[in-house]
Amino acid sequence: MYVDSPRQNIIVFGQAGAGKSSLINMIAGEDFAETSSDTTRCTFDSKCYEVQLDGGPVILWDTAGLDEGIQGSSSDAIARVYELIRRLEKNGVSLLIYCVRGRIQDTTVKNYEMFKAFCKGKVPIAVVVTALELVEDRKAWWSKNERSFRKTGMCFDDHACIVGIKGPKLGNRFVYQDAYNSSSAEVKEMIKRTALSNSTAWNAERKVWLTGIMQYIRAHLVATSDGDDGTQLYQKLKRIGFPEGECREVEKVYNDSIALSKEAPPLEVSHVKASEMDAECQ
């Protein structure tokens, strides 16, 4: 379903070191997010930053991708997913921004698929390609490389190819200042086109949203062990600070989904490498 949203929620995701924090600082116009290649964060860990743009206020969610800590049980990942859903559900989700650096890898495709599944394919996805400081024509770069994304099944509603850093200072200016400024304008225009031009955001009933991503995580990311009966998830949610009744409700949803998956035929999960894929977007 879609809801009127006074403050648009925009999820910024990608692999560690892709430039998510630098992108958020560029959009904000100031250093909100700490820039580092920290790989200790866990998948779906998120930090939010409220930013005022010309088209209205937005909340940017810096969200960890797969290579930032998918290790652990399914209850670990689902606890973080639930926390994110609870923070997003009031205003829904207006846009997913995928921050990508370098060549396409298997994890690049898996991150795309995971966040697309998180919003059930109902939210626009824009890609921001970073680290193009030495590329003279960034528009030509996209024209040349878009097909490589499409061949792996990654299809985007909009894109921006940017210089996300100002570089070292030379005299009274930074080396990449002009390219950075034009990149900033390009990203903000992209957000206007894909999110701010429409006052509605996608949302889902909490149980439906949670059940869907539970099934995806267990099928594609982390297997559920025989001894994982929802108790671990309940304990993790309690530590986060959710009320007793709410923790029990989520525990029941988790156990019900496990029982349902055991009754259903096994879900076949493809493990095709990105280099072998040819899933051209329709």
Domains: count for the chain: 2
HEC assignment per residue over 88-141: HCCCCECEEEEEECCCCCHHHHHHHHHHHHHCCCCCCEEEEECCCCCCCCHHHH
Q: Is 282 domain-assigned?
A: no
Q: What's the confidence (pLDDT) of residue 185?
A: 98
Average pLDDT along the chain: 86
Q: Has residue 91 got a pLDDT over 60? A: yes
CA gap 15, 41 in Å, rounded: 11
Q: Is 136 domain-assigned?
A: yes
Q: What's the confidence (pLDDT) of residue 281?
A: 62
Indicate the pLDDT class of residue 114, thresholds 50, 70 and 90.
very high
145 and 220 housed in the same domain: no
141 and 236 housed in the same domain: no
116 and 215 housed in the same domain: no
Q: Is 42 domain-assigned?
A: yes
* Residue 220 burial (10 A CB sphere; 0-12, 13-18, 19+): middle
213 and 256 housed in the same domain: yes
Q: How many CB atoms are closer than 10 A to CB 139?
A: 11
Q: What's the confidence (pLDDT) of residue 66?
A: 78
Q: What's the confidence (pLDDT) of residue 182?
A: 98
Q: What's the confidence (pLDDT) of residue 282?
A: 52
CA gap 49, 33 in Å, rounded: 8
Look at residues 219, 222, 207 and name the one whose alpha carbon lies nearest to residue 75. Answer: 222
Q: What's the confidence (pLDDT) of residue 123?
A: 97
Q: Has residue 269 got a pLDDT over 50? A: no
186 and 258 housed in the same domain: no
74 and 175 housed in the same domain: yes
Query: Which domain range does residue 47 map to?
Result: 2-202
Q: What's the confidence (pLDDT) of residue 103?
A: 80
Whether the pTM exceeds 0.75: the reply is: yes
Q: Has residue 20 got a pLDDT over 80? A: yes
Query: Residue 179's domain is classified under what CATH number?
Result: 3.40.50.300
Q: Is 277 domain-assigned?
A: no
Position with higher pLDDT, 277 vs 198? 198
Mean pLDDT of 247-263: 85
223 and 190 housed in the same domain: no
Q: Has residue 5 got a pLDDT over 70? A: no
121 and 193 housed in the same domain: yes
CA gap 70, 194 in Å, rounded: 29
126 and 110 housed in the same domain: yes
- Over residues 28-73, the pLDDT tens digits come to 998 888 776 555 677 788 999 999 999 889 999 999 887 755 555 6
Q: Is 28 domain-assigned?
A: yes
- Over residues 221-244, the pLDDT tens digits come to 765 555 567 899 999 999 999 999
242 and 162 housed in the same domain: no
CA gap 266, 127 in Å, rounded: 33
Q: Is 274 domain-assigned?
A: no
Q: What's the confidence (pLDDT) of residue 131?
A: 95
118 and 17 housed in the same domain: yes
Which helix H or strand E contains 77, and what residues bound it?
Answer: helix 74-88
Which helix H or strand E contains 258, and what residues bound it?
Answer: helix 244-263
Q: Is 48 domain-assigned?
A: yes
245 and 107 housed in the same domain: no
Mean pLDDT of 111-119: 95
What Cα–Cα distance (Å) separates residue 29 from each residue in 24, 33, 185, 282? 8, 11, 11, 37
CA gap 209, 89 in Å, rounded: 10
